[in-house]
Structure 1
Amino acid sequence: MNFSVKFSLLTVATLSIPVSAVAQEDLTRQVPQTAPPATVSNPVIQAVPGITFEQPKPVIEEWSKKDAKALLTFIEGVGADGLDPAEYRPDDLRQALADGTVNVSQNVDDWSDLDATGEELSLSEVASQSFTWLVEDLRDGRTPMEDRKQWFVIDSDPDFYPTSDLMTEALQQHDVAGVLKSLNPTHPDYAVLKQALANTPKTETKKRKLIRANMDRWRWLPRDLGTQYLITNVPEYQLRLTVNNKIIRTYKTVVGKPGRTATPQLAEVVEGVVFNPTWTVPQSIVKGEGLGQKVLNNPTWAANAGYKATKSENGFINVVQQPGPGNSLGMMKLDMPNEHAIFLHDTPAKNYFNRDQRALSHGCIRTERALELAITMAILGDGVSKDDAVAISKSGEYTKVALKKTMPVYITYFTMATDIDGKLRTFDDIYDRDAPVLASFDQPRERNRTRVTDEEVVPIEDPGL
């Protein structure tokens, strides 16, 4: 696409070969990366130029018959992308091509987006509106926000790829299909799911529906996730370090228990690495479980467990667990500020990584080989050298390393995706998030969809298992 870029590009260092991050030497080559996605919970990212939440006005341009026929052909084949051709009014477009206008008196509400005063629409009006609906679903996803449970990402694609720019380019270049196809997510999983849909008989309706739902989940995210990022598929219990859409390293994870402590879906940015972190114990444990008094009354036990407590004049007890191998955050955490208080961190309970079902935490994501990941991030983020990162990790002292080159981290939820071995698999719907997405495909497409969730943000208090 030949769009004028309205934001400055970021650069990040990338791995030159897929070897252990601790042994990695060549971290100097610079590669371009698009700006990270806007999110509900990160005000810094939310300030990406162009982010607005007003509904766009209808875009109407002049369409030739040739371009309109190309649009009709694309609509007729859009089932390959998991969408229903009928939702983009091919019959009306076909009639407008034949007659120059179409009478919509029988279904005027279907065309209400145009604010048309009469009962007849021109070919250009019909084609412009059908193109707009296609863009919205291919670029942003068809699933309404209320059916995306615990989804807290604001997709910035509508701002980087406005419908008006797309339509102008499609008509100027006479490449309607090319422009619409260019909206497909660039992550390889989308193409894998698309091929799986093509290979699945129409009689297998349940499987086809699940494929369509997970194809749409990719459209909820930014079209391009960037050159270098972390991504975790919660139901798979795996974290990936990815460069140019290739997996460099994988790590087992432990994620939130189903219910109120389920891990939400986020797109945040790692701004720093905390080595040898402290843990401020939440009041639900300090007061609710009596830990505060226990620490104050048993100084020897508290010292052995790494707890320090202070008591104010009004009786408020604050407990902080000091750095050490027994700390509930382990030896590191990734600093990724967000209002959910979700982050990736180490854990002293390494045995949990040996379980098949690992939805065991209070929401945060515990990471296998966390110290290796921390040192990797510190190096890639140009925070410290490899030797310094290793020395800091061994010091036993709380140290926060700020990253000069931040990295996006995507916390996703796919129930059909390629696993870390590259095989397409289904994963358990551990949080029961599939049902509303699947049900939305049985309902008429929702127009003028909001980009912002109104779901409650539940900050995670307790990182312990």
Structure 2
Amino acid sequence: MLRFVFWTLFVSILTFSFELFGQDTTKTSEIIRFRIETDPPGEKLRIRGNSLWSTDQIINFYTDRYFAEVWSKDGILTELAYELRFEIKQAQFDGLNPKDYNLSEIEPFFQSFESNKKNGIANNPGDLADLDLLLSDAFFHLASNLEIGKVDPSIIDKDWEISRKDPVFDYSELLSKAIEEGQVRQNLEMLYPKFSIYKKGREVIRVLVEEEKNDTLNWKKVKISKSIKVGESNNDIPVLRERLQYWGILDSYEFYDPKLYDSVMKNAVKDFQGLNGMEIDGVIGNMTVAAMNDSPQDRIDKARVNMERLRWLPDTVKNAEFILVNIANFQLDYIKNLDTLVSERVIVGKKYHESPIFMAEMSYIVFSPYWNIPYSITKSEIIPSVRKNANYISAKNMEVVTTSGKVVDPNTIDWTAKSFPYLVRQKPGPGNSLGLVKFMFPNKHNVYIHDTNARSLFANDDRARSHGCIRIQNPDVFAKVLLREDPTWTMEKIHESMNQTQEQVVKLNQNIPVVLVYLTFWADSKGKAHFREDIYDRDAPILAALEK
């Protein structure tokens, strides 16, 4: 309250001076100093009722430069001020909200100053000081959000266990550098994630925003009771055809029955399925319909969420070698020096057994592995099955062991007892649920990459079918790439090792980082957009946080 009284008195004196002498001789820098020095300790600096996000940085930054204004010179806004305003508006293409960066507060100043210029009126130093502080605050806030993201993943997404990267840049130094070089955009771009797909993603959002402005379609969600095959009629075909045409996948053409799913539309559906990572079969199933239900605004929102996820991730370096599993895309990529050595379809955790998001290092391979069955599965699945069928253990090629590894006859165990002080494991062989090989990167979740005996599942669009581990389609190919530096590991030797009766552990020459991520949107190196279904319903909380 006291500060408000001082400020009101100060402004009154300035106004009287302006009216009496026809000009205001008070320097903008003096008003900036006054605003900062009269700020109550421990409280956020407020400009015309609006709290600044970066009060501490503002105070230190302006104190170091003796309170000299940044965004105006001789009472006139500089080109840098207009450039920053432009970059604030461009933040929408980063998936951020320009209003977070004082846009609503600064726009009236720009309009007023432009009107003053037109009418030959000098800009009020108090207005210039307030705008200066608002713009600097916007720069610091935007810089932080671009470098490490707006949202703290540890609060919003409990399943995201990759540590949010630490800020590297000093934003005060960055702003000083931008002022010295006369380059706002160039210095803000330094904060972008080093992934090339980030800038490509910005361009996708830019296009989507333009498309959304002209969107006149009805995007009411289509629901189907069964898959639609070519030659069949369905009342929703006209709507789906219109959406394919909207996205430029299907050209206009003549048809005699608008409800008939014809061969021309089928080819477009196959193209759509390919773009969205589905089985390219031309059948309109639930996943195909779900993807076709996404409006331009839905896609903008999905892109915004994943641009934020990219800002959370630690930056890779040019010579990085790592294994990347995008859970939402059901795909594994082994990357070295930005070159993809192998790309494989995978099966991931189903709903309620979701694959976690984390990083670990792969250090060894186990050929012909035992499956040490987690106690949760033993309790929920194995024990109830044995109670129904006494021969279940032997039929599934399993054995019961003590915690010290001693094999126990399952017929000597009371399977109805409340406690079960044993472990169950499945012996190596073609019926083993882990398949014939597993790839180990020790972690607290006991999640790893492995083969599977249920190979038909790789043909499905929805491959969220496991208990959390990652099943890989061609494990022998993956093993060959991992062991490529040792010429003795031929494909023949790998197949022999995968079909033994005892485990064989092979240590890798070097540990390889494994990164499990969850991206429902990305843009590839050619700028092509890829969207995937949010199989774990993780996008909505992040979008809500971005909107706050």
Superposition TM-score tier, normalisation by shorter sequence: 0.5 to 0.7
SS of corresponding position for 2:453: coil
**Bigger Cα displacement from structure 2, 201-210 vs 250-259:** 201-210
Gaps of 5+ in 2: 1-53, 72-77, 114-122, 214-295, 409-418
Structure 1 Cα separation of the partners of residues 455 and 104 of structure 2: 59
Alignment of 1:306-385 (within 5 A): 306-311=397-402, 316-379=421-484, 384-385=486-487
Residue type of the alignment partner of 2:363: E
Displacement of 1:262 after TM fit?
A: 1.4
1:6-405 superposed matches below 5 A: 58=57, 60-61=60-61, 62=65, 64-65=70-71, 70-90=83-103, 123=132, 125-145=133-153, 146-148=155-157, 150-158=159-167, 160-163=168-171, 166-167=174-175, 169-171=177-179, 173-200=181-208, 201=210, 202-203=212-213, 204-224=296-316, 227-259=320-352, 261-291=353-383, 302=393, 305-311=396-402, 316-379=421-484, 384-385=486-487, 387=489, 391=493, 394-395=496-497, 396=500, 397-405=502-510
Shift in CA distance, 350/430, structure 1 to aligned 2, threshold 3 Å: same
Structure ranking higher in helix proportion? 2
CA deviations on 1:238-295 (whole Å, 9 max, x unpaired) are 2122234443322111111112x11222233323333332221222344554559959
CA offset at residue 230 of structure 1?
2.0
- Structure 1 residues 101, 248: CA separation in 2 closer, same or farther (over 3 Å shift)? farther
Whole-Å separation in 2 of the counterparts to 1:288 and 1:242: 38
In structure 1, C-alpha distance between the alignment counterparts of 2:514 and 2:338, rounded to whole Å:
13
Aligned partners of 1:331 and 1:441: how far apart in 2?
44
Quick one: higher RCO (CA 8 Å, sep 6+), 1 or 2?
A: 1
Residue 142 of structure 2 aligns with an amino acid whose one-letter code is L
CA shift in 2, pair 1:157/1:388, >3 Å: farther
| Shift of residue 84, structure 1, vs aligned partner | 2.4
Render the CA deviation track for 1:405-449: whole Å, top value 9, x for unaligned: 332322222223358998523222211122222223332xxxxxx
Q: Following TM superposition, by how much is the alpha carbon of 1:138 offset from its aligned partner in structure 2, in angstroms? A: 1.0
Quote the offset at 1:143 in angstroms: 3.3
SS of the equivalent of 1:441 reads: helix
Return the letter of the residue paired with 1:322.
K
Report if aligned partners of 1:253, 1:368 keep a CA contact under 8 Å in 2. yes
Deviation at 1:378, TM superposition (A): 3.4
- 1:46-94 residue CA offsets vs partner (Å, 9 max, x unmatched): xxxxxxxxx9963643474365554334223323323222221246567
What is the CA-CA distance between 1:101 and the residue it aligns to?
A: 5.6
Once the 2 structures are TM-superposed, how far is the Cα of residue 182 of structure 1 from its aligned partner? Answer: 2.1
Alignment equivalent of 1:415, drawn from 510, 520, 525 = 520
Structure 1 Cα separation of the partners of residues 85 and 179 of structure 2: 14
- Where 1:387 maps in the other structure, the secondary structure is coil
Cα distance between partner residues in 2 of 1:350 and 1:421: 32
Quick one: structure 1 residues 375 and 179, their matched pair in 2 at CA, closer, same or farther if it must change by over 3 Å? same
Contact 1:236–1:419 (Cα < 8 Å) also in 2: no
The letter of the residue matching 1:147 is: I
Q: Is the 8 A contact 1:235 1:414 kept in 2?
A: yes
The answer to whether the Cα contact below 8 Å between 1:264 and 1:411 also exists between their aligned partners in 2 is yes
Structure 1 residues 165 and 369 mapped into 2: Cα distance closer, same or farther (>3 Å)? farther
Q: Any conservation in 2 of the 1:392–1:399 contact (CA below 8 Å)?
A: no
Q: Contact 1:268–1:410 at 8 Å: present in 2 too? A: yes
Residue 148 (structure 1) shift: 3.2
After TM superposition, the score normalised by the length of structure 1 is: 0.66
Equivalent-residue separation in structure 1 for 2:452 and 2:56 (angstroms) = 50
Task: Tell me if the contact between 1:187 and 1:245 (Cα under 8 Å) persists in the aligned partners.
Answer: no
Higher strand share: 1
Cα 1:271–1:69 change in 2 (3 A) is farther
Deviation, 1:373, is 1.0
Aligned pairs, number: 365
For structure 1, the residue ranges without an aligned partner over 5 or more in a row are: 1-54, 104-119, 444-465
* 8 Å contact from structure 2 (residues 397, 426) kept in 1: yes
Between the aligned partners of 2:422 and 2:538, the Cα distance in structure 1 is: 39
CA distance in 2, matches of 1:311, 1:224: 44
Q: Distance in 1 between matches of 2:400 and 2:55?
A: 54
Overall identity of the aligned pairs, in %: 28
Question: How far 1:181 moved relative to its partner?
Answer: 0.8
Task: Flag the 1:91–1:419 CA change in 2: closer, same or farther, 3 A.
Answer: closer
Q: CA RMSD in A?
A: 3.8
Q: Could you say which structure has the larger radius of gyration?
A: 2
CA deviations on 1:323-361 (whole Å, 9 max, x unpaired) are: 333222222222222222222211111111122211111
Q: TM-score, length-normalised on structure 2?
A: 0.57
Checking the alignment, whether the CA contact within 8 Å between 2:341 and 2:481 is kept in structure 1 is: no
Query: By how many angstroms is 1:231 displaced?
Result: 1.9
Return the alpha-carbon distance in structure 1 between the equivalents of residues 104 and 525 of structure 2.
Answer: 43
The answer as to whether partners of 1:250 and 1:420 remain within 8 angstroms in 2 is: no
Letter in 2 for 1:74: E
